[in-house]
Structure 1
Amino acid sequence: MLVRLTPRQRFEILVSQYEPQLRKAFLDAIDDIRSNIVLRRVVERLERGDINGAVRAMNLDEAAFRPLDEAIRQALNGGGVAAVEQISTLRDPEGHQIVVRWDARNLAAEAWLREQSTTLVTNIIEDQREAIRTALEDGLARGDNPTRTALDVVGRINRATGKREGGLIGLTTAQSEYVARARQELLSGEPDRLRHYLTRGRRDKRFDRAVLKSIESGKPLTVETVTRIVGRYSDGLLKLRGDTIALHETFQSMAAAKDIAFRQQIEKGNLQAQHVTKTWKHTPQKNPREDHVEMQGQKVQFDQPFIAPDGTAIPYPHAPGVPARHTVGCKCYAEYKIDFVAQLVM
């Protein structure tokens, strides 16, 4: 027996398909950057006190993120194809089926993709450079030698895998600060600060016993042990960054594709805007936004925005220009419906 999927089920299938691809694309880009760093060049510039030169030597450029651009494009196109399936039953007043296709080369689709990819990659690189510059300056200022300072940023090579681990490449400025504070806590030898480290959600709990032993014995952790602990903590934060970007970009792509797909058909004259409504759908999750819970079921015409309780006008969930408080980590989506009877008699 053929089971008809609900709009939510169809949406969840799309997310489950494209979110892992986006996560992998981001992490692959970071791995590519780390793998191509020549440590000697970074250290030489640090020895001359050339912080900016050391940052440039890490080759943080847009080309490394081309796989992420491609993953976003695939997500947009996948969402667009899925969206037109909902419109594929359209018929003209004579009852003939209207041919409906997703046009990936549509100006609106290309403009969205270009703007989204450029903004995302630019923000990642600029934030990354700032975080690295700060970490290098702080490392040298506290008396670490250039090699240790560089390794704390670019990561250390795992002899088993041949790849760099730990470091700050790929982390946000805020996450880089978390790593710096975690290192300070572990090196301090102070029980209260060591206990605070044990509250960090992204720490590698396999090292908790060593930290507890340090607290109980009063003996500080060795620098080598701290380096290993901090490296794994950094890896946990990088995974979180990948998860966050993948979720955000997938939902943005799916939402934009649906809106653009309907606009394409309206522009072609296949569909009338007044016959389309959109309904806000909230996805239950831990620590939900109360504003979005309250918006569940809010219905508006296609060309009208949703209105959040705080007064924010939202064209559709994850729309460009909407404040981050309504987008980052959000799993809401809009369900579009066509009044086929009214559309048929036009």
Structure 2
Amino acid sequence: MNRFSYTRAEDMTSALRGIASAPGARFIAGGTNLIDLMKENVEKPGRLIDITRLALRRIQSLADGGLRIGALATNSGVAYDQEVERRYPLLAQAILAGASAQLRNMATVGGNLMQRTRCSYFYDTATPCNKREPGTRCSAREGFNRGHAILGTSAQCIAVHPSDMCVALLALDAVVRVSGPDGERTIPMAEFHRLPGDTPHTDTNLGAAELITAIDLPAEGFPRHFAYLKVRDRASYAFALVSLAAALDIEQGTIGRARIALGGVAHKPWRDPQAEALLQGRSATAQSFAQAAEVVLRGAQGFEHNRFKIELAKHAVVRALSRAATREGAA
């Protein structure tokens, strides 16, 4: 691990001033991803700014009926919050599918948003990696790529985003609130993370001197018909091969709104509005869900070891939507 300086911000002003005055500095809260990467000499910030004393832990109702989750709320705190469990059970279910209880107790929701999209080659500093060293190459494309992306890939990177929480936030149309030198702004969850393109080292659209302050959830959280499905190699503490957040409005067997968000398949959580639109006004049947699955995966491209994920993802779409339709409020 490289040497670095450490400071503790007492308020938002000092946090933003500190990050703006030290290029390459990083904010740290739970540190569950950043410290891990620093130990492996993948991340080498010269300065860490501790933001754990900032007043960003509250979970509060909004005037428009939505819910605001402070960026420093822990993953466990959010998953077991009574309002989240009651109004946004899909989010609670997704969080509890991720990592371990110990990590969920430490990790913050802001940190979860900011964790790096990564793979084993990103961690291995002896191998080329465009995410770690732009302009080298993507070792995964010709290497062992069983867990890698099948959607939205580029010649530069085929790593997948690891978060479960972010998949549910995308399905719920969450909005990320940030503060920076130019004041406050909001970023829709669908625009927060990036596909690799020619800049795989840039995971998000957050500015270098900006800080996540909260996540806003809309008033409607699909509390009746929802499901989070995570397909992985072992039952705990494993990233998803494919994950699926499904949410439906159903009246008398007919689908109104539909939400389908996938994890484990792309450089960012993946959602396809065309597949969701296809389900509107349709019967909640396996046939309808299978047609939606074909639309979601229509552009999928497999590599030597992960082509199986295309069919796996299609089955996951059908299974999760079927659960959402038939197991009302199931956890």
Please state which band the TM-score falls in when normalised by the shorter chain. under 0.3
Q: Which has the larger strand fraction?
A: 2
Q: Which has the larger helix fraction?
A: 1
Q: TM-score, normalised by structure 2?
A: 0.26
Greater Rg over alpha carbons, structure: 1
Q: TM-score, normalised by structure 1?
A: 0.25
